[in-house]
Amino acid sequence: MKAYLTRRYHFSASHRLNNDAFSAEKNRVVYGKCNNPHGHGHNYVAEVTLCGEVDPATGMVCNLADLDMFARTNLLDAFDHMNLNTLKCFANLVPTTENLTIEIFRRFQSGFSHAHLERVRVEETGNNSFEYAG
């Protein structure tokens, strides 16, 4: 019996969208106000969806305490109140929310032995959200 578990995590981070390969003018055209030299921040909501067989003994796809501990280390401690531009994982990537979503997926992909990571969804604003399913 396959079931899905989605857990939401909240964190705040800043970034500046800027591609060093572009001219200053092209960066302004492509990224608009998100190219502000001082950066800007978001209150992100990350949703992590796991799927798998329901364990007959526990009745769960994944223990929430284990998931939360993994998220604390691999998501919240890594990104909360950080400038994404300064992080090693974005050294060669523009820290768009698309790239952030892929990075979160990468971090969660091998974290669970009995559940499979189905997708990651990151809400940047009330109007913008991004999903990645590998």
What is the tens place of the pLDDT at every residue in 56-91?
A: 999 999 999 999 999 999 999 999 999 999 999 999
pLDDT at 54: 94
Single pTM value for the model: 0.95
Edge-to-edge order in the sheet of strand 82-83: 82-83, 2-15, 40-53, 116-123, 129-132
Question: Number of structural domains, the chain?
Answer: 1
Report the distance separating Cα 114 and Cα 70, nearest Å: 14
List residues with catalytic annotation.
34, 81, 124
Residue 26 sits in a domain of what CATH number? 3.30.479.10
Domain, as residue range, for 70: 2-132
> Which amino acid makes up residue 88?
K
